[in-house]
Structure 1
Amino acid sequence: MELSPIGARLAGLSGLRSIMEDVASCTAGTAQDEWLNLSVGNPAPIREARDMWHEVLSTALAQEFDRASCRYGPSRGSAALVEAIADYFHRAYGWDLGTDDMVVGPGSQMVCFAAAALFSGPGPAGMRKVVLPLVPDYTGYQGMCMHEDGIAGVAPRIETEGAHRFRYALDLDGLARQQDIGMLLISSPGNPTGRSIDRADLDGLVALAEERDVPLFIDHAYGAPFPRIAEVGAEPVLHKNVVNCFSVSKAGLPGERIGFAIGAPQYIGALAAVMSNSVLHAPQLSQAAVALALRSGRLDEVTRDAISPYYRRKKEFMEELLADRMPSDVSWRSHAGAGGMFSWVWVDHPWFVDMELYRRLKEKRVFVVPGRHFFVDAPSGPLPDSHATRCFRMSLSAPEKVIIAGVERVADTLREMRDEALRP
């Protein structure tokens, strides 16, 4: 079988995907408590979110099944959900949205994939790239580009805080030096760090997008207005060069694949055409359920009272645990911020390599995610040498007892790696 260049790229196995398959292979046929899985990207099973989605899905099934599931629907999104989105964002932000300003897709990842197909690749002026303004960022973005060398990342500045905290800062000057921008794409708050762009960052990104006449896609899957699983530095803005992407996955409904984008008709119309030509439309029964959750205010209620507090507590718990259990003579820092689904840890020693940690932990039946997979080509620039291979990600979605045992094994493994490096 001979694949096309695009086919070969799309059929390829990314670094993170290979590790996810490794996790599935290693844990197949074993009891759930035999492995400590801190690599999982699933949202936590929060009871209030589960109950809310069960209720609205049951209502949709009872009231909308014939209309939603037994016939095709519009590629742009069901009339009920498009209307509910317009009403919700008018209440939340005062936005006046028309049908041409919105498109629903089977998850925000599919929306971003469609955008990469539309706005990156070779053209009359040369290669135009998907540019990630602040890496590390969601590793799934790297699999969206269909062309070799079609994605670029801009290295951040590092700001340290105290003995064991740090944060990444957007390097707008470095971004402005990027000449081949087809689109800008950033998650805020982000995966893996939970960091959020502030208003000054947002203004700078919008100004650059306007200057270059390119779209700025902002993925709010972790942020405002829902599910707010991390602190939000800047609320979404409506601008002719901004496409805001939203999802209900991290609000507790990842399996139903519903996401939507809001932006200028010139961008939204093209995205709707891709939906029509690829998937026809997103699942309609799930769209009906999301419409109910938006109209009733239940999604806001669960976000405020259950989802946001849960992740804030888990982040605080992890910070306290790391401070208590990590080796005192190892230079480590976790990324600062309130909430988020993950803990992002930087071990600043020449003897530390993320894949070696992964290998050793797997022998101890623990899974984490090596940091290199969240960088594009392990960027240099403002970052210290080898920074991308000296980080790793741990999930906060696991039960506390799993996190405790996992962090203890991480700490033991770091001691082993340090002792072996210092041995004559």
Structure 2
Amino acid sequence: MNIKFGFVLLCLALLVSGCTTVKKDPTALPKGVVVNKSVQVPNPVKLRYYIPKSSLNSRFFASWRGLWVNPGQGLAQGVDAAFKSHFSDSALAQFNANDDYALLVALAPEWKPESGVLNFQLNYKVFDTKGKLLMEGKETDKADIGDIAQTAAFFNTALKTAQVISVKVLNTLKPSLSGFPELAKIDQVAKEAIADMKKPVSTGTGFFINKDGQILTAAHVLDDCLVTKATFGQKDSYATLSANSTLLDTAVLNSEFTQVPYLPLREGDETVVGEPVANVGYPLQGVLAQSANLTRGNVSAAEGIPGSMGHLQFSAPIQPGSSGGPIVSDGGELLGMAVSTLNVTNLIEKGIVPQNVNFALKRQHIRRFLDKHQIAYSSSKPNFSADFRTGNDAALATVVKLSCYQ
């Protein structure tokens, strides 16, 4: 069970929990856990550990207490304290060109709150600089939930399980500078080996922009993805970043798919207000059907909200997971790419309930982005006499589901 799940149960459990949990001393090892005397402590071998960002960033609002609770904060502090007590150079892995390691520990935490008790499981894998799996397993612990305002229960369970893992690494591998003399760059690690590939943390939509299988999507769909998979029909492919722009919220991925159907961009820059359009995406995966979801509407306005860059407004309904999907004319030409919807929270508080106010990046900005990064694409003249099924079929034939793993 992912750290994100079970928070509803956690909230209910906290209502009946009145105890206060105190953070444990990070220098005191759990009962029965002993470091072999032949192992140097603190150990000089450079160790890096990986924790999924979705776990580190987890937080929820405890309305009955009027405060935000950050399980990820306790998790990060507990794991850090455990490894630092045994390794002189240990830290959270940073996926950049400067960070390197001799030992890499990939961690996958799972929380399960039940009846005022916090059950915790920390799965782990240990790799050397060649990517060889040296150790793997899991450690479990439980604690009274207590005063979650201080995240003590999260800290304690993370600390204890990480301490056991740290000692197992020391006793099993007996790391030394002579035994592990080489360093490897973190950003060269095989990401699919250390990511939790059992379930994606999020999903989004993309579509083929050329026959070589390059996929256009919204850049935010890929936020914090360690591994991205593209699903086209019944086939999966790893997808790697080719180009991106956070300003335009646009990205292109390379995939293993070839000779695929793709969408041409409509020639010219004119936005025809009122023109019917189709949008295809993979919204609300896990709630709705696994197949692509097609909605229809029209171009509502030639511009987005004030201050937005290069957007048009459209009325085809979209949901979380629709981002990156194509906005397609009845003639099968690409008019834009779905990037956002109107944030209605503040409007609802004022008694205003807007419907189907969504935004897409215009094709002229997509075209400039593709030109800048030398991404192949084709163009097509407008076909205003086409049957709506032409556009529907074109959109459905080219769309892919993107799954983000950490």
Q: Common fold, TM-score beyond 0.5?
A: no
Which structure would you say has the larger RCO, counting Cα contacts within 8 Å and 6 or more residues apart?
A: 1
TM-score by structure 1 length? Answer: 0.26
Pick the structure with more helix per residue: 1
Structure having the higher Rg: 2
Pick the structure with more strand per residue: 2
